[in-house]
Amino acid sequence: MRHKPGKRYQSQTVFVVANNRIRTPQVRVIDDQGNMLGVMDTHVAMNQAYAEDKDLVMVNDQQQPPIAKIIELNKYKYQLQQKQAASRKKAKAQDTKEVRFSPFMSDGDFESKLKKVKDFLEDGDKVKLTLFFKGRQITKKSFGDQVIARVIEATAEEAVVEIVPKLIGKKIIAQLMPKKK
């Protein structure tokens, strides 16, 4: 099967140490229901697994002695894939939303944009504040600084300033990050 160029595909196969690949002399054995069978020699545990028509799968090799489970290899791999898929679903990527301001804006416009900023922060997204100077408005840079300062002050309880306000060309850019709950 050919993949689209530029796309990276991760391998779906999961490498698991099982049966004769287990090189430790003793293992702590668990059956497929999760019951502890105790510490035993690896070859004894392997014989017990073969007697049940199952495999001896290394679950945790960091422990002393390592933990092995008597389970069908395909079933164990499937369970690992399900756990990985669930963890990918739970991990929410943090988006960056942009809200544009102008140096001379009415209070109603300011309040509506400020409400948008607060909504984005409550959703857990980062917010990029952009203030764009048009024409000769750049001569009144202090007005732009005041608008950005008002936004930062109004969102001080919900957010932390990640990128301090700085003038780049005809824009003042700042970025807010939601506080950890």
What pLDDT digit, counting tens, does each position of 53-71 carry? Answer: 999 999 988 888 899 999 9
Torsion (CA) 172, 105, 122, 92 in degrees, nearest 10: -50
Three-state SS for 58? strand
Mean pLDDT of the chain: 88
Mean pLDDT of 142-146: 93
Provide the pLDDT for residue 177: 93
Q: Please, which pLDDT band fits residue 15 given cuts at 50, 70 and 90?
A: confident
Per-residue CA distances from 138 to 85, 102, 104, 168 (Å) = 50, 11, 11, 11
Give the whole-angstrom CA distance, residue 10 versus residue 5: 14
Domains annotated on the chain, with CATH: 19-89 (3.10.20.80), 96-178 (3.30.110.10)
Residue 63 pLDDT: 86
Give yes or no for a cis peptide into 65 (omega within 30° of 0).
Answer: yes
What's the chain's Rg over C-alpha atoms? 29
